[in-house]
Structure 1
Amino acid sequence: MNGTPQTIPATDGYPLGARLWTAAGIPQGVVVMHPATGVPQRIYQAFAAFLAGRGFHAITYDYRGIGASRPKGLRGFAARMRDWMLLDAEGVMRWARARYPALPQLAVGHSVGGHAIGMCGAGWGLAGAVLVACHTGNSRFIRQRGERWRVELILRGLGPMLARLIGYVPGSRMGLGEDLPGGVAIEWGAWAGMQRYFFDDPTLGAVGRFNGVTNPVLVYGFDDDPWATPPAINALTTHFTSTWVERRQIAPAEAGAAVGHMGFFRPKFAETLWPGLADWLVGHASAASTDVEAAA
């Protein structure tokens, strides 16, 4: 089950490559999958198919400059990390709402995809949102000294330097997933150098945006994730001040295998980790539908 290819416009009109998985049976809601930095949508397609089997229309997409949304060349391609959140994620959510206006809308964000939910979710009318391995990009929260130095070198040194030198970052050769647009790497590195990450960027208004989110939020963390440690997760989720945030911290023994930062969406967790997240989505979609019927 590969989903149906779609082209979805970002709010500025940039065409984003996407796929739609149609719900089996009567649809319960719509789930949009917001990806991590430099991670192509194919990583999330098995999980999207799983959600379709649980009665959800599921949508995956690539940010501009990544995967099916990449231009022929990245050298000089104009894109910032904020564009992924404020233009791309926003555009996909608007498309989902327009296509399925009568269904509860939900979102699942992985890493920076969770940032997009915090930045824009106040206006999405979500029945619920799930953040998987989402954290601020401050290297001080990384426990292992060697990994902390490596991330610091990439985010604040090598990445921005290459972006300015050759116009993009060859992330596929640096352990960052796919190649990154230069502007993304430069802005990411700047935020990583701020005490509270992008919450300290006066041009972004992140604190107020996160405070405006009122839908229920479920947050997954994993004990063997070197980057999204509990303190790093806390530094992000404490800004959801207007809603209830449920936390689930998973150990490898509970998951049945190592999870790390990228593992949750691998098919081997279809019987251990995925059902719990799907059950949460089902519950909140059902509650939203009940509220609509009561209001009518």
Structure 2
Amino acid sequence: MPQYPNRQFLEFEQPIKDLYEQIEQTKKLAEKNPKIDYSSTIAQLEQSIIEKRKEITEHLTPWQRVQLSRHPDRPYLFKYIEKMMTNFVELHGDRNFADDKAMVGGFASFDGETVMVIGQQKGINTKMRQQRNFGMAKPEGYRKALRLMKLAEKFNKPIITFIDTPGAYPGLEGEERGQGEAIARNIFEMIRLKVPVICVIIGEGASGGALGIGVGDKVLMMENTWYTVISPEGCSSILWRSVDKRETAAEQLRLTSLDMKGFGLVDEIVPEPIGGAHWDYTEAAAMLKKVIISALAELKQVDPETRINNRIEKFGAMGFWEEIPTSALVNA
């Protein structure tokens, strides 16, 4: 993990930054006065940082969780692959148009077995974010993902998808090449895959961009992530003609992991290190790996036909509705 002053802080993390600055000042004093022992003071400040991280995490608003999901220091797909897996072999191209850098996939070793890993990668700096289109996949990205899923099914390998996208690419060329069809095709095909499928939301989970690789036997959600039909900024722009209401939109969208679990749209919330996954990549990956291992072990006990039927039933039952009797419509 990057150490202060290279670490970046969100607005509500400012108290933590202040404590780090106090540590830096104390260390400078220690250098100027080597005869004075400042170790206990530094230890107290480090403990205060942990306590402040815990305090902030316990009182996060929905909008603050959205901000945490986008934290510049938050681990992306490649970091989880690095920490959780070995022998990753990336596979490229949709065999039709191009290789979408926003969608990454390939075989890897996970807990002693080969799995297919697929997910969005945003990029860790400005140049890479532009190259990977900020994690917004185009139709060829979703078609590549489907090709890799079918390849995993052919060799009977479990599939693990990692979702982290502000949405599918909304540009003209994406629509020209069939963005909607590509996502719909993935949903249709994923529901019928014969191998275990685990989907994990590790950052942003927006709209069809997330759902295009989000249909599985188990849908997991990291603690400080969000999952909904549109970003708070997009919702605010549509309803209030301004992004200034994004905090209100975040509350009204009910997009947090607790909300999604309550709605039955995700199966399990994966805890994060105190303060968020960006504070400890290794611990965050270890927490997620433990849950995935358990989910895979459970799914392997179920035969493919039953898994498919359970998947269909699970996604078919999502949502809330009320049927009005025909007689009531006639009388109205």
User: TM-score range with shorter-chain normalisation?
Assistant: 0.3 to 0.5
The TM-score with structure 1 as length reference comes to 0.39
Query: Which structure exhibits the higher relative contact order, with contacts defined as CA atoms closer than 8 Å and separated by 6 or more residues?
Result: 1
Higher helix share: 2
The TM-score with structure 2 as length reference comes to 0.36
